[in-house]
Structure 1
Amino acid sequence: MLRFVIPASLILACFLLAPTTALADPCEAPLPSRAGATFSGSVRYVGDGDGLCVGRSSDPATWIEVRLADFNAPELGSRAGQEARRRLIRLALDRPVACTAVRGRNGRVIVHDRVIARCRLNGRGLGDLLRADGGREGGR
């Protein structure tokens, strides 16, 4: 009987190099549809360097998906985008924020299934906090 031994490093390499499926953000709450609408809660999830979910409970059905109006992070697929996501996680995850829906550059409040909003943490805009922490803008 012939036996094949597959080195553990080869198995690990296969998992690391295999393509992964991007998961959708878990935010499921209805989005505010008018500029000026306010909402608050803790940052429950960070999808990228300028996208997050805000909710008052641990139930994703109560989480509102937000695209920050005051910060334009590099795209997630880039190294700078990954750094931007880690920065936003470090600064805001599980912390309370107060947000106000605003109109984006295209005049809409909701773009790509996210509400455009300015969010404040301890009275300071998240965009200002990200820049003060060394965050660089550069998304599309």
Structure 2
Amino acid sequence: MFFRQATTAILGALCIWPAYADPCEGKLPAKAGTVFTGTVRYIVDGDGICVGATSDPNTWVEVRLADFDAPELKTQEGRQAKEVMTQLAMGKQASCVTRPGRSGRTTSYDRVIASCKVSGASLASLMRGAGVKEGGN
């Protein structure tokens, strides 16, 4: 009986998993210092965005900001950070530069680590200027 319930729960979770996945499927730049530009097409959370030159999600690059660490999305502060990021960046042109993270790699969890600017201003600086506190993992 327990096995059947556990199996049902796991299968149910797998069925809804795609609903929670972000749509960004583009190839990630591999070298530090790579510059890429495009429109901010999707907001992942308070320190994650997807940038793409076209409306095709298969070309969108998922970015983890190198210079800002937002609270986790499961917290109230994290949800507020995502809302601020949406107001600051969604639909705007972004210019990003890949950076090595703490591990020395330019990727983390299928995202490229980068510093990004919109309207000539650092997204990290804009988030801090909007009063968003840092404190994620």
The CA distance in 2 between the partners of 1:74 and 1:136, in whole Å, is: 7
Deviations 1:92-119 (A, max 9, x none): 0000010000000111101100000000
Q: Secondary structure at 1:42's aligned position in 2?
A: strand
Larger Rg: 1
Separation of aligned partners in 2, 1:98 and 1:41? 7
> How high is the TM-score relative to the length of structure 2?
0.86
Aligned residue for 1:102? 99
Q: What are structure 1's unaligned runs of at least 5 residues?
A: 1-18
Alignment partner of 1:113 out of 90, 94, 110: 110
Pair 1:31 & 2:28 matched = yes
Amino acid at match of 2:57: P
What's the secondary structure of 1:46's corresponding residue? Answer: strand
Give the total of aligned pairs.
122
Letter in 1 for 2:113: I
**1:74 matches 2:71:** yes
1:59 to 38, 44, 56: 56
Q: Name the structure with the higher helix share.
A: 2
TM-score, normalised by the number of residues in structure 1: 0.84
Runs of 4+ in 1 over 2 A off after TM superposition: 19-22
Q: 1:40 aligns with which of 37, 40, 43?
A: 37
* C-alpha RMSD over aligned residues: 1.3
* 1:13-32 map, 5 Å: 23-32=20-29
Structure 2: unaligned runs, 5 residues or longer? 1-12
For residue 44 of structure 1, give the secondary structure of its aligned residue in structure 2.
strand
